[in-house]
């Protein structure tokens, strides 16, 4: 992942675990370097999922991995509908899946 992110910037398409994803947020906070939208979802929804995960956390002191919620419900700004996303971590990579086949990555 580090090599993949080395040259990535907001809006770029990258490959995560064989799946194309669009970089939505690139920066540091909550122990994260990047938020990406996988197939079947938007950056707006990816940010909504991230917002649910970081609620109540301090961006400079807290790492989202230490308080990861296994299930979050987030509203899509594109559809106005609320979807359930199941989240898990594998090392530093957080993957949330659900809704209409949506995948959100946080690293």
pLDDT at 3: 47
Q: What is the pLDDT of residues 79-90, one digit of tens each?
A: 999 999 999 999
Q: What is the pLDDT of residues 26-36, one digit of tens each?
A: 877 999 999 99
In a domain, 18, yes or no: no
In a domain, 16, yes or no: no
Q: Could you give phi then psi for residue 33, rounded to 5 degrees?
A: -110, -20
pLDDT at 107: 94
Q: 0.75 cut: is pTM over it?
A: yes
In a domain, 55, yes or no: yes
Residues of the chain with pLDDT under 70: 1-7
- Split into its structural domains, the chain has a count of 1
pLDDT at 70: 99
In a domain, 99, yes or no: yes
């Amino acid at each position: 992942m580090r090599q993949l992110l080395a040259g990535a910037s907001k809006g770029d398409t990258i490959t995560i675990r064989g799946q194309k994803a669009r970089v939505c947020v690139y920066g540091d906070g909550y122990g994260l370097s990047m938020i990406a939208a996988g197939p079947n979802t938007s950056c707006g929804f990816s940010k909504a999922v991230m917002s649910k995960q970081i609620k109540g956390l301090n961006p400079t002191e807290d790492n989202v991995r230490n308080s990861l919620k296994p299930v979050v419900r987030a509203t899509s700004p594109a559809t106005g509908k609320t979807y359930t996303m199941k989240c898990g971590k594998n090392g530093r990579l957080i993957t949330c899946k659900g809704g209409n086949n949506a995948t959100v990555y946080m690293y």
